Amino acid sequence: MAQTSVDRARRTAIIGRSLAGGAMRTWVQEAIAGYLFVTPAVLLLTIFLIIPILASVVLVFTEYSLLTPPRWIGLENLQRLLGDKRMFICYRNSLYITFGATALNNILGLLLAMGVNRKMPGILRYILRTALFFPVLTTTASLAVVWRFILTQDRGILNYLLQQIGLEPVPWLSSARWAIPSVILYDVWKSCGYLMVLYLAGLQGIPDVLYEAAKIDGANRWQLTRYITLPLITPTAFFCIVISLIGAFQIFDNAYVLTEGGPGDASRTIAMYIYEMAFKRYEMGYASAVALSLFVILVGLTLFQIWASRKWVHYE
Amino acid sequence: MAIVGAKGWTTRIRKFPARSASFYVGETIIWILLIAMAIIEVAPIMWMFSTSLRNPSESFELPPDFLPTSWRWDNYLAVIKSEKINFPLFFWNSLKIALIVMGAQLLTCSLAAFAFARLRFPGRDALFFLFLASMMVPSQVTTVPIFIIIRILHLMDTHWALILPSMTSAFGVFLLRQFFMTLPEELMDAAKIDGAGFFRIYWRIMLPLVGPGLSALGVFTFLWSWNNFYGPLLFLRSWDKLTFPLALVTLQGYMGMGNRAHVLAGIMMSIFPVLVFFLLAQRFVIRGIALTGLKA
């Protein structure tokens, strides 16, 4: 009890001090503390994020091969962008992968979430969730090595299974036609569990009361899904679609290990093209120009989705 | 409780007429989809595990095993003890980098997040907005200048090239700030009145209360670093500095044509720690993802 009275005395003293003109000092102290607290993060982010962003804008106007100092070449890199056929092929590939993977990942993710989010024994739910989610945590590059073994034309596992059920073997990785579907297949295998978890969180956020009320009104299961689940999952779906589009547009590891961009440029993504320009050919200026074009496209795509979301996303 | 009773009663009444033939058809389709997908997701990993235990000379044999038929654990030993490829070293490289990156992010992000959420200083909101905006920029834009900076700092082919740029993240600051914002303002005032310094308030009072945020950030930072392929690909050159994913992909080109079992044993060992961790902390990892929308 003595302790408390000492505390109380100290507290009163402090309050008294701050009332008697210490307020200014505490304000300054708080500001200094604030600056000290943010210093490590601000310093690191300035060096490794803010300066690089600004530098890449400057690099766009230069020719820089690391060996000689950067040379100012004005708009040449931007002009080169417009006539770069390979870049457009890579953009087309990335778009194909992005839309394929985003559509499949989101549809499967939502269906799986609706499947797991039902009454079942706890142990079964645990097994299902573990099985569906585990690939998400594995290393993209290493598992792509496994998928290479699965997809190879001769002695590949998938072709063996296809032949067992009487189908023709498919040249998954070696043909221009199947290279991108293979990359999409691998990405969906790797990521749909991740979207399942996000959709699951969204589903669990829908109040039970709504379902109960609708059931009392005699709604059947299809009506519950159509008029309650689907409208109320749209905010989650919007978030999921935005992040999966942005992620899929930047796919690198998958295609780099699985197909090495080939055959030819058939599955080279835009991230791989930037990598090639910057770190194989050391054209730092031009690589920055391509990277900035990617940034502009991503911002455009996201703004478009925010605009379009008004037409289909229901907010309470 | 009376309401729950009433609810149970109404559903029991309605249960029978609601379960028409279409109910069972729908239910069957959903279960087939669930089980088929679970099998598809697990099969490649089971195949990898089974093949990694085969006699290396039979690792190309068809039909494939999805359950182990032989138990050649010496494949794992062969990979660990291999003269040419120093596996324990790659493991240690990956682990060391991931642990340092995780620790550094937890510290720098929580310090900054606390200040952005709970301290008042001029320029705070402008600074925070700058970070928020910079999160939108894809990594492709920043890697070229980061590569140049790392060269200028003479850090090429060192682990610092991977650690330094990842020691903090705008996302981590943003995430933890959200957690600090949820704590009641009175807590801070009470501590101030008790005469606690700002660092003490941060360390002893606020930090223990944002545990879920810290653990989510910690888990995902660790996994991100453990699984990172692009960074090592850019910055590491010498064989003894490689991290696990890069070493495995290189290993596959190196001996993949001859010895599938050994390559797969190597990959199994790289996902094993993640598997164990996930089986133990599944609920918690999943909550972290749902909470943050963050991908490992």
pLDDT digits (tens, 9 = 90+) for B222-253: 888 998 999 999 999 888 888 988 888 877 76
Amino acid sitting at position A230: L
Nearest CA in chain A to B106: A41
Assess contact for B241 and B158: CB atoms under 8 A.
Answer: yes
Confidence of residue B18 (pLDDT cuts 50, 70, 90): low
Assess contact for B238 and B38: CB atoms under 8 A.
Answer: no
Q: What is the ipTM of this complex?
A: 0.81
pLDDT score recorded for residue A9 = 56
Asked whether residue B1 carries a pLDDT value surpassing 70, the answer given is no
Q: Which chain A residues are within 8 Å of B26, Cβ to Cβ?
A: 221-222
What would the DSSP string read from start to end of B9-29? HHHHHHHHHH--HHHHHHHHH
pLDDT score recorded for residue A278 = 92
Fill in the DSSP letter of residue B123. Answer: T
The phi, psi pair for B295, rounded to 5°, reads: -105, 140
pLDDT score recorded for residue B15 = 47
Q: Which of residues 236-295 of B touch A (CB under 8 A)?
A: 244-246, 248-249, 252, 256, 260, 263-264, 267, 270-271, 274-275, 278-279, 282, 285-286, 289-291, 293, 295
Instruction: Report residue A262 as tokens.
Output: 């080939």
Asked whether residue A18 carries a pLDDT value surpassing 60, the answer given is no
Q: Domain limits of chain A?
A: 2-59, 76-312
Confidence of residue B3 (pLDDT cuts 50, 70, 90): very low
Assess contact for A81 and A87: CB atoms under 8 A.
Answer: yes
Q: Is A58 on the interface with B (CB under 8 A)?
A: no
Q: Domain limits of chain B?
A: 2-72, 81-292
Asked whether residue B5 carries a pLDDT value surpassing 90, the answer given is no
Confidence of residue A17 (pLDDT cuts 50, 70, 90): low
Burial class (CB in 10 A: 0-12, 13-18, 19+), B6: exposed
Cα B219 from chain centroid? 6
CA–CA dist A175, B218 (Å, integer): 41
pLDDT score recorded for residue B54 = 80
pLDDT score recorded for residue A10 = 59
CA–CA dist A220, A203 (Å, integer): 18
Confidence of residue B136 (pLDDT cuts 50, 70, 90): confident
pLDDT score recorded for residue B36 = 93
Helix (H, G, I), strand (E, B) or coil at B243: coil
Name the residue with higher pLDDT: A4 or A48.
A48
- From 1.10.760.10, 1.10.3720.10, 2.60.40.10, 3.40.50.720, which CATH number describes the B81-292 domain? 1.10.3720.10
Confidence of residue B183 (pLDDT cuts 50, 70, 90): confident
pLDDT in tens, B276-290: 777 777 777 777 777
pLDDT score recorded for residue A316 = 61
pLDDT in tens, A127-174: 888 889 889 888 888 899 889 888 887 778 888 888 888 888 888 888
pLDDT in tens, A211-264: 999 989 888 888 888 899 999 999 889 989 988 998 899 999 989 989 888 788
CA–CA dist A221, A215 (Å, integer): 9
Residues 6+ apart with CB under 8 A from B36: none
Average pLDDT on A111-121 reads 88
Name the residue with higher pLDDT: A314 or B113.
B113
The phi, psi pair for A62, rounded to 5°, reads: -125, 165
- Mean pLDDT of all residues belonging to chain B: 82
- Mean pLDDT of all residues belonging to chain A: 87
Assess contact for B266 and B248: CB atoms under 8 A.
Answer: yes
Our CA angle for A218, A108, B44, nearest 5°, is: 140
The region of weakest confidence among A2-6, A264-268, B290-294 is A2-6
Q: Which chain B residues are within 8 Å of A298, Cβ to Cβ?
A: 136, 138
Fill in the DSSP letter of residue B119. Answer: -
What are the angstrom distances between the C-alpha of B206 and each of A34, A209, B216, B288?
A: 15, 36, 16, 20
CA–CA dist B146, B161 (Å, integer): 9
Average pLDDT on A191-207 reads 89
Percent of chain B with pLDDT over 90: 28
Residues 6+ apart with CB under 8 A from A286: A63, A77, A80, A277
**pTM, 2 dp:** 0.85
Instruction: Report residue B33 as tokens.
Output: 């989809």
CA–CA dist B172, A166 (Å, integer): 51
Who among B10, B107, B230 is closest to A216 (CB)? B10
Confidence of residue B294 (pLDDT cuts 50, 70, 90): low
Q: Is A177 on the interface with B (CB under 8 A)?
A: no
Cα B24 from chain centroid? 39
pLDDT score recorded for residue A34 = 92
pLDDT in tens, B34-91: 999 999 999 999 999 888 888 777 767 777 777 777 787 887 888 787 777 788 888 8
Average pLDDT on A88-111 reads 95
Say yes or no for a CB contact (<8 Å) between B278 and A250.
no
Paired with A71 in beta bridges are A63
Assess contact for A285 and A59: CB atoms under 8 A.
Answer: yes
pLDDT score recorded for residue B296 = 45
Q: Which chain B residues are within 8 Å of A221, Cβ to Cβ?
A: 18, 23, 26
Q: Is A126 on the interface with B (CB under 8 A)?
A: yes
pLDDT score recorded for residue B43 = 92
Confidence of residue A22 (pLDDT cuts 50, 70, 90): low
Say yes or no for a CB contact (<8 Å) between A111 and B33.
yes
pLDDT score recorded for residue B295 = 55
Average pLDDT on A25-47 reads 89
Instruction: Report residue B190 as tokens.
Output: 């009470």
pLDDT in tens, A39-71: 999 999 999 999 999 999 999 999 888 888 888
- 3-class SS letters over chain A: CHHHHHHHHHHHHHHHHHHHHHHHHHHHHHHHHHHHHHHHHHHHHHHHHHHHHHHHHHHCCEECCCCCCCEECCCHHHHHHHCCHHHHHHHHHHHHHHHHHHHHHHHHHHHHHHHHCCCCCHHHHHHHHHHHHHHHHCCHHHHHHHHHHHHCCCCCHHHHHHHHCCCCCCCCCCCHHHHHHHHHHHHHHHHHHHHHHHHHHHHHCCCHHHHHHHHHCCCCHHHHHHHHHHHHHHHHHHHHHHHHHHHHHCCCHHHHHHCCCCCCCCCCCHHHHHHHHHHHCCCHHHHHHHHHHHHHHHHHHHHHHHHHHHHHCCCC
CATH superfamily entry for domain A76-312? MetI-like (1.10.3720.10)
Residue A41: Cβ within 10 Å count: 27
Assess contact for A281 and A70: CB atoms under 8 A.
Answer: no
Say yes or no for a CB contact (<8 Å) between B278 and A44.
no
Assess contact for A93 and A267: CB atoms under 8 A.
Answer: yes
What are the angstrom distances between the C-alpha of A35 and each of A38, A272, B187, B217?
A: 5, 40, 21, 23
Q: Is B132 on the interface with A (CB under 8 A)?
A: no
